[in-house]
Chains A and B, each alone.
Chain A
């Protein structure tokens, strides 16, 4: 590589990306044995639910309110979208509880925990803007109730939940992008730092609080096993 190319921003970005997340960390051969826990199934289920939410939401956005209100297939996709959201919150909160009690921010993993917690916080208005974008009496009721709530905390001038155009834009573009970016960052940070070891293992390895993450134990299970 010539010196000219070494100064290129694409080379710098590539080298920084590979240094931060080398391929063997991004797509590892296996995981430590302590990853064999149901708590991580709830994390994966959150991502799976999000995929269903975005797929069904894209179809709803393509077809429009008349389709989701007045056709059988439209009703079906509307229900898929709503129940996938219910499932998303259910499994995400169980995963969040589990990671809270495991103190998953240990070993330099603060950003992993923070991106997960903020994903939950951003998902709440994403769901709310969906409920007020339904174009029915339910949406009218929820939006007027939410308007009172937002006014009471002093942010009603910024978010008009009775404005369908504004809420629909938030729901189908701005907030989903934020959720997808946060979830992507969360998963990549998990890959970078590794899954947090159990507290007992941490103590056995005599890791100081806030210290560097220990290397995974030599015995790992295959990613596909």
Chain B
């Protein structure tokens, strides 16, 4: 695939030829990209708390 065709495909997927999307709620005004990253961080945090760590139960079992 040539560089031009890669650029065309990526441009079709991520069309940046427009003003940035902004989330505006009361006095809060954030670019959509930042809102998505913050949401992903919250998801990662929730998963880090909720998901069991591999082998953690076995290790606790060994200690008893």
Chain A residues with CB under 8 Å of chain B are 33, 36-39, 41-42, 86, 90, 93-94, 97-98, 217-219, 221, 225
Contact = CB atoms under 8 A, between A and B. Distances in A.
B37 A90 contact: yes
Given A38-B48, A94-B45, 6 more contacts: A37-B48, A37-B53, A42-B44, A90-B37, A221-B59, A225-B59
B59 A36 contact: yes
Interface in B15-64: 37, 40-41, 44-45, 47-49, 51, 53, 55-56, 59-60, 62-64
Contacts of B49: 38-39, 98
Nearest to A37: B53
B41 A39 contact: no
Nearest to B53: A36
B49 to A, nearest CB: 7
Q: Which bucket holds chain B's interface residue count?
A: 10 to 19
23 contacts: A33-B56, A33-B63, A36-B53, A36-B55, A36-B59, A37-B56, A38-B49, A38-B53, A39-B48, A41-B48, A42-B44, A90-B40, A90-B41, A90-B44, A94-B41, A94-B44, A94-B45, A97-B45, A98-B45, A98-B49, A218-B63, A219-B62, A219-B64
Given A94-B41, A217-B63, A219-B63, A38 B47 contact: yes
A225 B44 CA distance: 24
Nearest to B44: A94
- Point out which of B37, B55, B59, B62 has the most chain A C-beta atoms below 10 A from its C-beta: B59
B62 A38 contact: no
Nearest to A38: B48
Contacts of A39: 48-49
Contacts of A218: 63
